[in-house]
Amino acid sequence: MASAKTVCDAQPHSMPTGSLPTDAQTRATSKLPVKSKEADVLKHLHPGDSDPDVTNTKASESCRDRQQEEHQEEAVNKQLHQKLTETQGELKDLTQKVELLEKFQDNCLAILESKGLNPGNKTLASQRALKVKLKLKEEERVRFLEQQTSCKDQA
């Protein structure tokens, strides 16, 4: 360390210390090498950056946490997908039951008409219009569920 300059050596000797700024006066009186003094200042400014092992440990913990979160997210996504599949199956069953009931109702109305019992043309017409609307809404709902499933699969 004989080649290390001190702050005192770096200062010109011809200048009196009274004309130096206060920071330079403090440095001039110090006998520590310049590099060690800078390192001390850096340690005070950045106290947590000194140990690379701590940084590596924090990074690996962060990576493990992210992996754990990804596994949990995958598990939740699988559960949601399973519930969605079950719900779609139930919806399909209910749709089939509605169709059977509509056919039964149409048969009953046909029997009534054949026996001369007319439930009313207006009632029949409005009922058929409501059936058409119901069918359109069901188709719209099925399309929405399919879009929702595809969006979730993409995510």
Residue 68 has pLDDT above 50, yes or no: yes
Residue 116 has pLDDT above 60, yes or no: yes
Q: Is 72 exposed, middle or buried (0-12, 13-18, 19+ CB in 10 A)?
A: exposed
Residue 54 has pLDDT above 90, yes or no: no
pLDDT in tens, 131-147: 999 999 999 999 998 98
| pTM, entire model | 0.38
Mean pLDDT of the 43-52 span: 56
Domain map (residue ranges) of the chain: 58-117, 120-150
Max intra-chain CA distance, the chain: 130
- How much is the pLDDT for 1? 46
Q: What is 105-141 written as a DSSP string?
A: HHHHHHHHHHTT----HHHHHHHHHHHHHHHHHHHHH
